[in-house]
A and B are shown apart, each in its own frame.
Chain A
Amino acid sequence: MDVTDLTALLLRRIPVRPLVVTVPGGTGARLRVERLIRTRGWYPAASPAEANLLVVAGPATGEPADAVEHVWEQLPAPRARAAVLDPGHADGELAAAEATLRDAFRQRRPAPDSVHGGAEPEMAGRGEDRDGLTLDQLHVPLGPVLPGWPAGLVVRTVLQGDVLQEAEVDTPGLAEAGGRTWWWGEGPGPPGRRRAARHLDTAATLLSIAGDDRAAVAARRLRDGVLTGLAAAEVARPLHQWARRVRRSPLLRWSLAGVGAVPADAAPPPELAGDALARLRRHATAAEAALDRFDQDVPLPDWAEQAQWTVEALPWLLRGSELALARLTVASLDPDLEALAAREVAGA
């Protein structure tokens, strides 16, 4: 056996670590991709450094497409990418990308030696801050390529230490999504199921950011069961078990209580009131309540209104919070920007 074969042999055995990027209009593709990743036993990556497969869910154009290219340059070899536009093609795209990843000949193609030419970035400037320490100000954008982050949301922050001093919200690429919204309009199945699935989806994202991976995977499995048409009786037992565990967990209470608390005088939509813990518990309870009306034509919550409020509230809500708490806050609010774009298209 020569050495070439040894590299190929190792490539056939490496675990696949996908980094999933969702762009506006890609919710349906993301849900399918997440389900396939779970059933194939792949473990999602949290950053390009630990990923070897870049999966783009949805039609990437404009600024989100630039961000995707940027991240692709940061992926070390061996690497492969898949673009999933249509949920129906997800399985084939992922299989093709995996084949590329495990093909020694294609992986040996030389990558550019230096990703960035150019000069080193400048040193950070200092500024006044809350604690009077005059620390360096770093401009750190959050999104659009960030696991567990709403599709199409960019928060441009000014950080001093790990405290967000300023936050500015931007929503690039929404216009290109063309008003397609999965949860609200074009998704398959009766609204009752989509409603329950969206509660589970938001809870799963928040749980994964909070570090409770087991509960997050359980929530995703339930969500996929709901969307693929499992009978309500079949879902009921695991759903109640999951909801009970999420509501009772002392660790979640400790890490989420008081995070992203919205004062009552900010007049939030009732679904978003309180702190991250209250929102998580409300999602668990709402998913259970939706169980009885799975296959009925229930009215869907006004997700566009919630997203609108969140986009307007995020700058003041995030100011003064720590970086990790900011990510938890955004995950707990989980604005559906596609619904927002759809409303604007419908209104125009």
Chain B
Amino acid sequence: MALTGALVALALVLAAAGGLYGVAYLLRLGGTRAGARPFLSGHDAAEHAVSRFHVRWYAITMIFLAFDMEMVFMYPWAVVVAEQGAKAVTEMFVFLGILLVGVVYAGREGALRWT
């Protein structure tokens, strides 16, 4: 019974995908053009597109670590904070303050710039 349902769903998915391809085939103006190179202001690319590109990993890693560590410690903290009371709250905010310094530093290093 479950198999029939799965087969019907598969048939529907295949029909939908095939239908979309069919509509695209009927509406298109011509064949797909292969081998188009990237736009370089009207010049030809001199180097292969696969090349090492520096995305400033260190600054971005700092942002990741700051928020990741925050989550790692906040989950267990959230379980016990009600029992521990004001002391736990104070400790967490001191910890968040330290992380915030890291975020501000990474921001100053350009991790949050989009240019």
Contacts and interface: CB of A to CB of B under 8 A. Distances in A.
B115 to A, nearest CB: 4
B41 A138 contact: no
B35 A115 contact: yes
Contact of A76 (B33, B35, B52): B33
A139 B44 CA distance: 10
Contacts of A126: 52
A120 interface: yes
Interface residues of A, number: 59
A124 B31 contact: no
Interface residues of B, number: 29
Nearest to A141: B43
Contacts of A66: 42
A141 B48 contact: no
Interface in B41-100: 41-48, 50-56
B17 to A, nearest CB: 20
A136 B52 contact: yes
Nearest to B49: A121
Contacts of B48: 120-124
A153 B101 CA distance: 44
B37 A140 contact: no
Nearest to B56: A161
B41 A113 contact: no
A255 B26 CA distance: 47
A327 to B, nearest CB: 9
A121 B45 contact: yes
Contact of B115 (A6, A77, A116, A325): A325
B29 A115 contact: no
B30 A135 contact: no
A262 interface: no
Contacts of B45: 121
A307 to B, nearest CB: 19
A135 B41 contact: no
B33 A113 contact: yes
Interface stretch (A103-111, A198-206, A312-320, A340-348): A103-111
Contacts of B52: 124, 126, 135-136
B34 interface: yes
A109 B33 CA distance: 13
Interface string A72-87: 0110111000000000
B3 interface: no
Given A138-B47, A322-B115, A3 B27 contact: yes
Contacts of B29: 7, 77-78, 104, 107-108
B2 interface: no
B40 A141 contact: yes
Interface stretch (A34-42, A91-99, A142-150, A289-297): A142-150
Contacts of A116: 35-37
6 contacts: A7-B28, A111-B33, A124-B48, A137-B47, A146-B41, A160-B54
Given A47-B39, A71-B42, A104-B29, 20 more contacts: A7-B28, A68-B42, A70-B43, A70-B44, A76-B36, A107-B29, A108-B29, A110-B30, A112-B33, A113-B31, A113-B33, A121-B44, A122-B46, A124-B51, A124-B52, A138-B46, A141-B43, A142-B41, A143-B41, A160-B54
Interface of A: 3, 6-7, 10, 47-49, 64, 66-68, 70-71, 73-74, 76-78, 104, 107-117, 120-124, 126, 131, 133, 135-146, 149, 154, 160-162, 255, 322, 324-325
List 6 tightest A-B contacts by C-beta distance, closest first: A67-B42, A161-B54, A145-B42, A324-B115, A124-B47, A136-B51
